[in-house]
Structure 1
C-alpha cells in the first residue's frame, strides 16, 4: 500500500502518542499532516494495564509541571468532547507509621505547599471516615492531598485521540512498524507491514518496543521493561466506597484506589523483576516475567506490612491479578526529545507515571518537534543524560528495575 508522506509521524498509539498528536495538531502550522501508526489497536497495550493514579505532588518541579499540564489537558478535552472524561477527583491519602514513611509525608506536605496545592493532616478517625478499609493507629501520620485523582487510562487516551482526529490527525491501526527508514544519516520514515511511510519528523512513543526498534539504528534508550502489577479484591462497597481517596502507603511500598466496588492495590517488587527488550511479544497481554510470574512471592513478602493497615485483607478474596510492563529509567524520569539520529524524537521511559504525565509530555514533545519555546524545562528528561548505555545488558536492566523497587510515591 502506498501512503502519502506526512510532516509528522508518531510511532505508537498509546496514551503518549495520542497526547502528542493532539498537542501537535493544536500547535503545528495550518495544513500540517500528522499521522499516528499503531501496531494493534490504539491504547490497547501498556496503556490499558495502568493503574492511572494522577498524583500532582512531585519533588522535581519539571515532573510536577508535566502532571499539572495533564490536569489542564483534561479540562481542555472536557470542553471539546461530547462527554466529560471520568476523572475521579477523590484526592490521595498518604499514611505512614515508620520513620522513613513519616519523612516522606513531611516532604510531600512541604512540596504541596510550594506547588500551591492543598494538603491537610488527618486524625485516625478522619482517615477511617475517608477510607473505611484502613485501620490506622496512634503511631501513624496521615496526609490528604485534595487535588489528586484517577481515571480510566484507555478513556483518557481515546479522549486525546478523538480531539486529535477532529483537528485532522490520521490514525492507522493494526500496522506494525518493522524498522526506520534512514537516508544519509537522517530518519525519513518507516518500513511497515503495509508499506513504506515517509515523514519530515518521526516521534517514537512505542513504549518498551522502542528499545529494539531504535537499537537497529544505534539509538540506545536508557530504559528497561520492568514489571508493574496489582490485585483487585472482591467487591465490598461498604469498605470501598466509590468516592474514597487513593491511598499511598510508603512503609509497605504500596498504593490503592477504589475499583468498581472492590479495591485495586499494588505492591512494588523488592526483588527486581524485569524483562528482556529483545524478546517482548507483539501482544503484551498474558506476558509473564520469568521471576515470580504470578505475583505470589511479592504478595507474600509485602503481606505483613500491608495487613497492619489493611486487616480486612485476610478475609477478602482476590478477584483479579493484573501484570503489566512499565518502561523504567534509572532515575524514574522519562526520556523526552531529540535523539542522536536527526529527524527522530522519542517520548518514553515514563517509569509507571505515563498516564499522569501524558498531557505534559504531549505538549513538551510537540514544542520540541516544532522547535518552539518550551513550556517546561526539558533538561531533566534529556535522552542522552545517562551517557552510553546497553539496554540489553542484565546489569543495566537491574539498575532500571531498582528504580521501581525504591519508588515510594504514587
Structure 2
C-alpha cells in the first residue's frame, strides 16, 4: 500500500541545536501551528523535534474535515476560530490548502438524536455558526447517494468542509522556518532532565537540547512523552482506517462531508473519487497502522442501508492512522501542574487537525503569559484527577 502523499518542504531538515528557548515535541499539524504562532509573535530560538518526517503521523492522513459543529461552547469556539484561519490560510501563513467549503451533513436516525442535535444547533447558532436542522428529503438533495429510509432528519452546517492536512502542516512549517524555527526530523525523544519544577533538557537519539520551555504536541505518543517528564497525559492510540475509490465515471457530484451519526461512517469528495471512513468500535488500543482491506466490510455493511451505491464502488487504495484518545474524548491543553515550563496540546480524539489554528494561538498565549482567546481551563489534564471530566464529544472525524 502506498503512503499518503506529502509535499516536500524546505522546513524539513535534520538539525538539532545544543540549546533552545522552546522545544516542541511533535512535527504534526499541532506542533507546526504552535511553532508558527510563536515565531509570528516574536519568539526566537525554537526547535521542533519530530520522530519521522513532518506530518508522518496522523496529520498526514487526509481526512481533513474542518468544522465548528460541536455540542459545547469551547469546542465550537475553537472550531470557529480555526475555520476563519483556514479561510485566510492563502494570506496567513500563505499556502494553498485546497479548502473546499462543501459543508458538513450529519445524518440522524433516532428521535433522541434529533432532540440532542436540535439543542446543539440552537447553541451553535447563538455563537455564530449557521447550522440548521433539515428533513430527509433535503438531505438527499444535498447528497444524492443517500437513501432516506429510516432517516429521521439531518443537520447541515454549510460553512464547514475539508482541506488537505499535509498542505496545512507544510504551510505552517515553511512559514515558521522562514522566521527562524529549526526542525529536527528523524529525531526521537528519549528522556528529559528535571531540575526542581522545571524541565532543563530534552534528550534525543541525536543529542541533548537544554531548554527553557517544552511543549508536548506528540499526538498519540504523548503519554510516553509525559512519562519522561513525570506528567500524566492520559492519551491512548487507536487505529482508524479509511479508503479511496478509483476514479469515478461519471464524476461524483460535489457533496457535503457526510456522516451517519449512529454508525460513524463518513464520506466526502477526494480528487476524482470519494473518501470513505468508519470508526471500528472493536479496535484495540495500539500503534498498529497497517491498513486492513477487511475493514471495508464494516463500512460496506453500513452504507448498503444508508448510501447503497457506495458499497459497490471499486477501491483504489487505503491507509490507517492513529487517533489520540482521552477518557472523555476532549483535548488536553494547558500547563503541567508539576512542571512550570511544560505545556501540552494533545489528545484531540479526532479533532486536532480542525482545531490546530486556534490551539496554536492558545499555546502561544500560554507561553507568553497572556490570557488566551478562549478559556481552556476545562481542557486541563488535571480534570481527570479532580473528577471534573467533561461530557464526551462526538469524535467521529
Bucket of the pairwise TM-score, normalised by the shorter protein: 0.7 to 0.9
After superposition, residues 184-223 of structure 1 pair within 5 angstroms as: 184-223=196-235
Question: Could you tell me which residue of structure 2 aligns to residue 119 of structure 1?
Answer: 131
Residue 269 of structure 2 is aligned to residue 258 of structure 1: yes
2:369 to 371, 374, 377: 371
Residue 252 of structure 2 is aligned to residue 240 of structure 1: yes
Any stretches of 5+ residues in structure 2 without a counterpart?
A: 1-14
Question: Could you tell me which residue of structure 2 aligns to residue 146 of structure 1?
Answer: 158
Moved more, 354-363 or 4-13: 4-13
1:89 to 89, 97, 101: 101
Q: Distance in 2 between matches of 1:260 and 1:377?
A: 38
Residue 37 of structure 2 is aligned to residue 12 of structure 1: no
Closer, same or farther: CA 359–83 of 1 in aligned 2, 3 Å? closer
After superposition, residues 294-333 of structure 1 pair within 5 angstroms as: 294=292, 296=294, 299-301=296-298, 303-333=300-330
Q: How many residues align?
A: 380
Residue 332 of structure 2 is aligned to residue 335 of structure 1: yes
How far off its partner does 1:160 sit?
Answer: 1.1
Closer, same or farther: CA 198–139 of 1 in aligned 2, 3 Å? closer
How far off its partner does 1:304 sit?
Answer: 4.0
Is the contact made by 2:96 and 2:167 (CA closer than 8 Å) also made in structure 1? Answer: no
Task: Give the structure-2-normalised TM-score.
Answer: 0.87
Task: Give the structure-1-normalised TM-score.
Answer: 0.84
Question: Could you tell me which residue of structure 2 aligns to residue 269 of structure 1?
Answer: 280
Any stretches of 5+ residues in structure 1 without a counterpart?
A: 281-285, 390-402
Is the contact made by 2:97 and 2:165 (CA closer than 8 Å) also made in structure 1? Answer: no
SS of 1:201's equivalent? strand
Is the contact made by 1:337 and 1:365 (CA closer than 8 Å) also made in structure 2? Answer: yes
SS of 2:385's equivalent? coil
Q: Distance in 1 between matches of 2:347 and 2:329?
A: 8
SS of 1:216's equivalent? helix
How far off its partner does 1:352 sit?
Answer: 0.8
1:65 to 77, 96, 105: 77
Residue by residue over 1:107-133, the C-alpha shift from the partner in whole angstroms, topping out at 9 and shown as x without a partner, is 342233122222344455543343222
RMSD: 2.7
Is the contact made by 1:188 and 1:200 (CA closer than 8 Å) also made in structure 2? Answer: yes
